[in-house]
Amino acid sequence: MTQIEKYKAFILSLSPGRLSKEQLFVQDLLLYEQQDISIYYVPYEYVNTQAKVMIIGITPGFTQMELAIRSARQDLLDGVPTGQIDQRAKKLASFAGSMRINLIDMLDQIGLPALIGIEGSRLLFEERRDLLHTTSAIRYPVFQHGKNYTGHSPPILKSAVLLRYAESILLPELLAVKDALVIPLGKAVSEIVQVFVEKGWLSEERCLFDMPHPSGANGHRKKQFEQHRTSMQQQAFQWFSR
């Protein structure tokens, strides 16, 4: 399901080329705003129910938002069927930049490619995108004082609005992509998924809880990964060997 038609006129009104916060932090895209928190639309509503791997970030950042909106604008101009626009935007923008490079490296190190029959994890973001579903604890971009929300202040579990987004959007995605190994990235996302497990909504055996967030700003990423690499290798093997 896509809402692209609702936002089509505004997206087409945007200028070509790279887009600024001034162009995108506008009422036309605003989904929610209260005090210092704002949430904006992005064409990320495609769900790959056949995926074998599901990777969950915190929320799309501005880099991802800008790429996705720019992709949607070009697709609308090119006459791409509306049912494909969200899928194409997500393929281009999900974990774009250095995060994707770091994520691919960690997935390779836990032996994921061999378990799902591909040569390397980078293929998940390229020609084997059919095996991957990417999403976020909060599907739409969240900003705090105009900066990327990091998942910590406030924690999603302590924000009624953010928790409602997670329960009403992320949880149905998890249930729809039922055969995928679930990889929440970092503590903030793992806490949400853990609550779903504790409530009996999700099986713990399919959740790889110890994958650090791949952001370059996570200075403890490499140490955290090394501490849990062996256990993650074992759990991934067990899930795909069941």
Helix 221-240, helix 98-109: angle, nearest 10: 50
> pTM of this prediction?
0.94
Give the mean model confidence (pLDDT) for residues 145-170.
93
Count of C-beta atoms within a 10 Å radius of residue 67: 20
| The pLDDT value given to residue 190 | 96
12's tokens: 């087409």
Mean confidence (pLDDT) of the chain:
95
Are 42 and 67 spatial neighbours (Cβ–Cβ below 8 Å)?
A: no
pLDDT per residue as tens digits for the range 57-82 = 999 999 999 999 999 999 999 999 99
**In what side-by-side order are the strands of the sheet with 53-57?**
132-136, 53-57, 181-184
What is the spatial distance between Cα 39 and Cα 34, in angstroms, rounded to a whole number? 9
Does the pLDDT value for residue 1 go beyond 80?
no
What is the spatial distance between Cα 78 and Cα 74, in angstroms, rounded to a whole number? 6
Amino acid code (one letter) for 140? Y
| The pLDDT value given to residue 208 | 96
| The pLDDT value given to residue 10 | 97
| The pLDDT value given to residue 108 | 98
How does residue 188 score in pLDDT terms, banded at 50, 70 and 90? very high
What is the spatial distance between Cα 196 and Cα 203, in angstroms, rounded to a whole number? 9
pLDDT per residue as tens digits for the range 206-223 = 999 999 999 887 888 999
CA angle 191, 192, 195 (to 5 degrees): 85
What is the spatial distance between Cα 226 and Cα 221, in angstroms, rounded to a whole number? 9
Mind listing the domains of the chain with CATH numbers? 18-240 (3.40.470)
Separation in Å, CA 115 to CA 87, 121, 180: 25, 11, 12
For 121-153, b/e burial (b = at least 16 CB within 10 A) is: bbbbbeebbebbbbbbbbbbbbbeeeebbbbee
Does the pLDDT value for residue 2 go beyond 90?
no
Give the mean model confidence (pLDDT) for residues 1-24.
95
Are 184 and 209 spatial neighbours (Cβ–Cβ below 8 Å)?
A: yes
Amino acid code (one letter) for 42? V
Helix 62-78, helix 4-13: angle, nearest 10: 90
